[in-house]
Chains A and B, each alone.
Chain A
């Protein structure tokens, strides 16, 4: 029952974040909201597994956490460099790798 309540709460939180994503006002707000939404999704996915008695689907949650990250980096590069190909800035010292 507690888990169900938890799921309901998460849904409510997601709804609020969606409102932020829709009203913006800036794109950064939207991305922030999506990011936060992603974390909540990960939590909800974990929770739903327990709720339905099949907790084995945590893989999806893991994948979400990872993919969300990639997307956010891509968005950052979108704003920062207007390019997906550009490397994130390198300092001179880093060219020498210790490997």
Chain B
């Protein structure tokens, strides 16, 4: 397997990250920015999951040792390979990054929700979700006294 193929995932992840960030930078629209941010965050997940993949591995949900399913899975692989890297005759992918990314996805959706909620309030307060216009309006605000309690 060529080097390019074995590292294609990382290259793709790098590009996705940058694409997400680019969406974030290039657009003044708050909603669009949140989408960019979401893409950026998701790409992190892709990175972790790519790390966790194991040749010939299967999802880290234990197969009953000795069952037909286990035999079937093992039969696809080199026995030496299974002996070295398998657990009870089955090769599994690494579960840890999956766990981490589950958490990261949750964090992502939480961020998205809060960010969009704030964006909605921005729209209600400023009448716009374009960063440039909000900047202009904010600067007007700076010259006015605050409300008194």
Which has the most chain B C-beta neighbours within 10 Å: A52, A53, A56, A57? Answer: A53
CB-CB under 8 A from B58, the residues of chain A are 52-54
When distances are taken between beta carbons in the complex, the residues of chain A under 8 Å from B61 are 54, 56
In the bound assembly, the distance between CA atoms of A53 and B69 in angstroms comes to: 7
Q: What is the CA–CA distance of A53 and B59 in the complex, to the nearest angstrom?
A: 10
Q: How far is the CB of A95 from chain B (nearest CB, A)?
A: 33
Across the interface, which residues of A come within 8 angstroms of B76, CB to CB? Answer: 53
Residues 38-65 of chain B: 1 if any A CB is under 8 Å from the residue's CB, otherwise 0? 0000000000000000000011010100
Q: How many residues of A contact B (CB 8 A)?
A: 5
Inter-subunit contact A57/B73 (CB<8 Å): no
A56 / chain B contacts, CB cutoff of 8 Å: 61
The prevalent SS among residues of B at the interface is mixed
| Cβ–Cβ < 8 Å partners of B72 in chain A | 53
B-side contacts of A53, CB under 8 Å: 58, 69, 72-73, 76
The docked-state distance in angstroms from the alpha carbon of A52 to that of B76 is 10
Q: Interface size of B by Cβ–Cβ distance < 8 Å?
A: 8
Task: Write out, one digit per residue, whether chain A residues 40-68 have a CB within 8 A of any chain B CB (1) or not (0).
Answer: 00000000000011101100000000000
Complex formed: what's the CA distance from A57 to B60 in Å?
12
- Distance in angstroms from A58 CB to nearest chain B CB is 13
Closest chain B CB from A50 CB (angstroms): 11
Contacts of A57 in B (CB 8 A): 59
Q: Which residue of A lies closest to B76 (CB)?
A: A53
Interchain CA distance A56-B63 in the complex, whole Å: 11
Whole-angstrom distance between the Cβ of A83 and the nearest chain B Cβ: 14
In the assembly, what is the distance between CA of A57 and CA of B63, in Å?
Answer: 13
Q: Which residues of B contact A54 (CB under 8 A)?
A: 58-59, 61, 63, 69, 73
* Residues on A with beta carbons closer than 8 Å to the beta carbon of B63: 54
Among residues of A, the one whose C-beta sits closest to the C-beta of B59 is: A54
Q: Could you tell me which A residues sit within 8 Å of B by CB distance?
A: 52-54, 56-57
Which residues of B are interface residues toward A (Cβ below 8 A)? 58-59, 61, 63, 69, 72-73, 76
In the complex, 14 of the A-B residue pairs with CB atoms within 8 angstroms, ordered by the A residue number, are: A52-B58, A53-B58, A53-B69, A53-B72, A53-B73, A53-B76, A54-B58, A54-B59, A54-B61, A54-B63, A54-B69, A54-B73, A56-B61, A57-B59
Q: Which 8 A-B pairs have the closest CB atoms?
A: A53-B73, A53-B72, A54-B58, A54-B59, A52-B58, A53-B69, A53-B58, A53-B76
